[in-house]
Homo-oligomer: A and B are copies of this chain.
Amino acid sequence: MTTYKLTYFDISGGRGEPIRIAFHAGGIPFEDNRLSGAEFATMRDGTRFKYLPVLEIDGAEITQSNAMCRYVGRLAGLYPEDDLQALYCDEVLEVVEDDSHRIGQTFGLEGDAMKQARDKLVNGWTATFLRGLSQLLARGGGKYFADNRLTVADLKLLMEVRWISSGMLDYVPKDIVRNIAPDIADHAARIAEEPIVKAWYASRK
């Protein structure tokens, strides 16, 4: 039997969480290896690209969270079979990565430089990102982004919306998603209540 080991930070979000949920939803046993930042620091140089998540399939290292979302999503039935619906799903996966990169660029700044960078982000890219997502959700029918059902696109975006609405990012207002794209805020609230999402968190208690 194939063994899967997913190594990621010990948080209920980010790039690793949609993959964990997909494994669980598909009934696929996996080792949920969770690291603190300090633990990652000690093994970082041993990873291929020096970041997480890392997925080991029978011990062989795989990187790139969106690649994992698609692969595990397919195994778990959370990725469209139809090519056009897969394209719609992929468009969301990829633009969420763009958003994470743009937020990541502001990390490490301090004081006024941080405030300026975050204000520029919020009023520029983040607004574009959220309005574009509204278009993509409407294209998908208003409830899901692709295939008229839950896919890894919905899970990936849920984690991003939680992050940018968390108040953990200085100068990013907690109500930004609700204010700019209420449909996207509603989507996140609905996805959080999906049975497979609730089942994952119930299994963690």
Contact = CB atoms under 8 A, between A and B. Distances in A.
A132 B70 contact: no
A67 interface: yes
Contact of A128 (B49, B94, B129): B49
Nearest to A61: B135
A90 interface: yes
Nearest to A136: B48
A68 B95 CA distance: 12
Interface string A177-199: 00000000000000000000000
Interface string A66-86: 111011001100000001101
Copies, count: 2
Interface residues of A, number: 35
Interface string A90-110: 110111011001000100000
Contact of A91 (B67, B91, B93, B135): B67
19 contacts: A48-B135, A49-B128, A49-B129, A57-B84, A64-B90, A64-B98, A65-B94, A66-B90, A66-B94, A67-B90, A70-B90, A71-B84, A71-B86, A71-B87, A71-B90, A75-B83, A97-B97, A98-B101, A105-B105
Given A49-B129, A129-B49, A135-B48, A87 B62 contact: yes
